[in-house]
Structure 1
Amino acid sequence: MPAIRLRLLPLAAALVLLGACASTGTGAGKVSPPVDALYGQLDQASKGYETALQQAREGDNQASQQTLTAALDQLKGAAAHCGNTPGCDPQRFFSVFDRLLRLKNGGFFADDDSAVPIERTAEGSAGGKTGAASLSEAQRSVTLLRGQQLSELIAMNGPVKAALEMWLTQWRPNLMEAYVNYQYMRYQMWPEYQKQDLPEAVLFGIMAKESGGKVHAVSRSGAAGPLQFMYATGMRFGLVNDDGFDLRYDPAAAARANAEYLDEQLKIFNNNLELTLAAYNGGEGRMRRMVGDNTAVSFYDPKIYSQLSPETRAYVPAVLAAAWLFLHPDSYNLRFPKLDVSPGNITLKRPASVSELTVCLGSAGGMSNGWFRILRNLNPRLDPQMAQPAGTRLEVPKMLEKVYAVRCTDGPWPILANDLHTAVLPTVASAPVMPATVVKTSAPAKPRSYTVRRGDTLTSIVNKLGCSDVEEVAKMNSLRHHNISIGQSLRVPACR
């Protein structure tokens, strides 16, 4: 992955100039003493930065980090008062805060001025550690997109502000659920984005809007997976059928394909993030025709905006707003939960389904909604209702390893879970079918069969037949989560 350079001297000069400018007013007259005092803290933060930089050059990294942290805390405190002080410009504080925050978490020291890419071993671990534990705060906080700050790319216009309000009100439960789901899959998804030098916030924004982090989500149009790939687009980026499993449902594979797609489209649209997101939602072909050679055109230009579907007009600001909240929750009185998301695994000591494991794990670790969604996301190939044999290995959060050993290998909970899971439902007799009164001119076509071939998915089969939909075929064959296998004979509607 290309290293994301965060050079120190240019930003030091920028902070000094900005601090000096702030302390002398805006050119429209002198500022009030309270505002002048707050602006003065910009000067102090800049001086603290210079001191930290010098300490880093001298090799005293610990003192340098402490000095930088103090400067950051000073800015945070002043910024909190700025909003309530007449005449104070919060954007000045935000600009400096954003830069210091990126420097603090993005590789500050002289011998390490870039985010260090993850080196994955053959087992998929990183640097001897696994999952979230191997991802430094620097990698979590990098917010650049091809050298451009997201704070400069995400304009706080009407549509984005409206989307921010929606995420903070009506969509708030969806945002929180998406955050929790993403954090447990992060160790699988984020490294794929990092390889393409893309900011994590964009990945979260897309996933929050597309599926809320539900790996097995399927839209009415047939888009599937956590990042909602259509069949043809998924195929183009390697999301094929893998021994009966649709790779669009695999978090790591979907993140890789999504990152490759965005990398491709960013190059086409000259790193215009808004146009790239519009292409992801509305189709790259259509966006290219609308934009033409003018890749500098704004997404909100009436010539572009008025031609877009209502869905795409809402989609782009919603993704940007979710990405912004991911980066700056504190600025919007938002608190994401702190989670222990270290990855782990268990080996089943007795046969059990994901549903049964969910019952015996209960609300361990304070998970009030239970662990069903997390277990499904981390083990997308498993049918949650089908008992897996003893010896099967499942991916789980590490904190559940001990819980499983205590609750789910012996005792009353696995017995209860199995009793509930194997409950026999009464058979309901079908109502008699009354003869139709309308005279039919021809006999109804009988369903035919289709044998699943290598590379097939349920969506591709339906597209090939051209006379049915995915849900109809799934119901006819009692398919769970659209899982099919090579050689399987499917009943499909016949065209008339």
Structure 2
Amino acid sequence: MSVRVPRSFLVVSLAMLAGCASSGGPRPGKAPPQVNALYDRMNQASKGYEASIEQARRGDTAAAEQSRKQSLDQLKDASARCALTPGCDQQRFAAVFDRLLRLKDGSFIEGEDADDTEQGAEVGAQPGDAAGSIVVNALPQAQRSVTMLKGQQFSDLMVMNGPVKAALEMWLTQLRPNLMDAYVNYQMMRYKMWPAYKKADLPEALLFGIMAKESGGKVHAVSRSGASGPLQFMYATGLRFGLSNADGFDQRFDPTMAAQANAEYIDEQLGAFNNNLELTLAAYNGGEGRMRRIAAANPGASFYDPQIYGQMSAETRDYVPMVLAAAWLFLHPDSYHLTWPKVDGQPGQIVLTRSASLAELTVCLGSARDMPDGWFRTLRNLNPRLDPQVTLPAGTRLEVPKPLEKVYMAACTTGPWPILASDLHNAVKIVAPPPPAATSAALVNTSPAASKPSPTASKSYTVRRGDTLSSIARRSSCADVEDIARMNGLKGHHLTVGQAIRLPVCR
């Protein structure tokens, strides 16, 4: 039989400890004696807490409660002193906090599951936070997977330390517009992306956090390194999870397929890293091979342990807390004076009554349904295979948010707006004709397939900074990524700046 200490006591104690952590890495050189003394107290407190668990298992509940309280008091005191002592690495205390937080047989986790959860503050919440009253069993059954990861509460996986708090501030200040755009974009695509995560029993908040950091919900995003799509897969990794090039379309741009591939990847890496979320995210950003080598050399260490954290690139150190912070805000906006916009992302369809491009539809739809930035991004995200400048024939079916079905019939079938949109679109085609792309016939089921011109010659091209095989292929009218890769014998589709490659020329 184990003793249960009030959850609020332990939560506040560990939250105070976590708050002392900073983003600094390990410091070189021998630590001063006073610092080593604090580290010794930290280790003693950790062992004391583990010993209290053993006492509880033996049924000595009184001794277990006393040992646990003494250990937590010692840990809090040493952590506070560390913050005031030059040369003391606060990340070590964050790592201890992380390890204790993950102890599955600890009193604050034992006996708690989706159907039997005490009311109490979530880990990392401060007194008075609205999030303190939110628990898994207060949610509808269908929503529980939003806050669970492999049977654990998402709150129990969060270490609210310095890097995560800094990321929260970044999202709420400089990147607030990006966060809001990401939320709107995600809600419009939710019906395409969420089912894959739900099937894999992964938290929806995690999906949003990754997407917000990777692309902001822009389906056609391409990074300088060639990572593409809403979840930014590199070509080789995407291919491994079923994202190939089909009929000239890079499937990494498909939100449904990208979410499925991402869910499979995250599930695979959680298995490899013993369900350690931070290490899994670090692998997604910094490379799974590198992370597995580092983790194997430091068994049991958390991401914030100096032995791990100190070996991460600056990008990965930033990436992991930024994803977690976005996920946390997705779940607890009220706790941070954040209000998500109301978005009706219910799926719908329209059938064009007159020929139009996505660009033209954007003009005639205007800012309908309180969309101040217009509908261009949403139309592109929901119809990723379409070039927005290509005119689509009447009868073409397009995916749109359901509220736009009536708006389209009212504003884009007759009247002045479709005429204006067509006039502007024709001007764009005259001034700056876009490169030919796959026609609507090759992209929409309502038309016959289109054929691609055959290359009859080639020309030399020197790779420039920012180029990817996908971006180069998009400028060609007669070859796709695979054609160019085969022509140049490119394995893994890797390019280097200054590299000379051959491109097909069409007649």
Give the TM-score taking structure 1 as reference length: 0.65
**Among 152, 166, 182, the residue aligned to 2:170:** 166
Q: Secondary structure at the match of 2:285?
A: helix
Change (3 A) 1:14 1:104: farther
Change (3 A) 1:354 1:14: farther
Contact between 1:474 and 1:480, CA under 8 Å: does it hold in 2?
no
Q: Aligned residues: percent identity?
A: 62
The Cα offsets for residues 164-189 of structure 1, whole Å up to 9 and x where unpaired, read as 00000000000000000000000110
What pairs with 1:95-114 in structure 2 (closer than 5 Å)? 97-99=133-135, 102-107=136-141
Change (3 A) 1:306 1:491: same
Structure 2 letter corresponding to 1:157? N
The Cα offsets for residues 65-94 of structure 1, whole Å up to 9 and x where unpaired, read as xxx9xx99xx99xx9xx97xxxxx458x85
Contact between 2:248 and 2:480, CA under 8 Å: does it hold in 1?
yes
What pairs with 1:45-56 in structure 2 (closer than 5 Å)? none
Gaps of 5+ in 2: 12-67, 71-114, 433-459, 489-498, 503-507
What pairs with 1:357-436 in structure 2 (closer than 5 Å)? 357-423=361-427
Change (3 A) 1:486 1:292: closer
Contact between 2:245 and 2:481, CA under 8 Å: does it hold in 1?
no
Q: Secondary structure at the match of 1:330?
A: helix
Gaps of 5+ in 1: 1-12, 29-55, 57-67, 84-88, 108-114, 116-137, 429-464
Change (3 A) 1:106 1:295: farther
CA distance in 2, matches of 1:266, 1:27: 33
Change (3 A) 1:389 1:487: farther
CA drift at 1:21:
11
What pairs with 1:432-471 in structure 2 (closer than 5 Å)? 468=463, 471=467
Contact between 1:182 and 1:204, CA under 8 Å: does it hold in 2?
yes
Structure 2 letter corresponding to 1:383? D
CA drift at 1:329:
0.2
Change (3 A) 1:483 1:379: farther
CA distance in 1, matches of 2:478, 2:222: 10
1:305 corresponds in structure 2 to: 309
Structure 2 letter corresponding to 1:317? P
CA drift at 1:152:
1.4
1:479 corresponds in structure 2 to: 475
CA drift at 1:491:
9.8
Change (3 A) 1:242 1:90: same
1:175 aligns with 2:179: yes
Contact between 1:383 and 1:480, CA under 8 Å: does it hold in 2?
no
Change (3 A) 1:205 1:424: closer
CA distance in 2, matches of 1:159, 1:168: 14
**Among 196, 199, 203, the residue aligned to 1:195:** 199
Q: Secondary structure at the match of 1:300?
A: coil
The Cα offsets for residues 337-381 of structure 1, whole Å up to 9 and x where unpaired, read as 111111100011111000000000001101010000000000000
Contact between 2:131 and 2:335, CA under 8 Å: does it hold in 1?
no
CA drift at 1:307:
1.1
Structure 1 letter corresponding to 2:138? K
Structure 2 letter corresponding to 1:318? M
Contact between 2:473 and 2:480, CA under 8 Å: does it hold in 1?
no
Alignment RMSD (CA, Å): 3.8
Contact between 1:243 and 1:485, CA under 8 Å: does it hold in 2?
no
Contact between 2:347 and 2:401, CA under 8 Å: does it hold in 1?
yes
1:326 aligns with 2:330: yes
CA drift at 1:104:
2.2
Change (3 A) 1:272 1:482: farther
Give the TM-score taking structure 2 as reference length: 0.64
Change (3 A) 1:197 1:287: same
Change (3 A) 1:482 1:335: farther
Change (3 A) 1:335 1:488: same
The Cα offsets for residues 3-43 of structure 1, whole Å up to 9 and x where unpaired, read as xxxxxxxxxx979x658999xxx999xxxxxxxxxxxxxxx
**Among 314, 317, 323, the residue aligned to 2:321:** 317
**Among 344, 349, 358, the residue aligned to 2:353:** 349
**Among 268, 275, 285, the residue aligned to 1:271:** 275
Change (3 A) 1:399 1:280: same
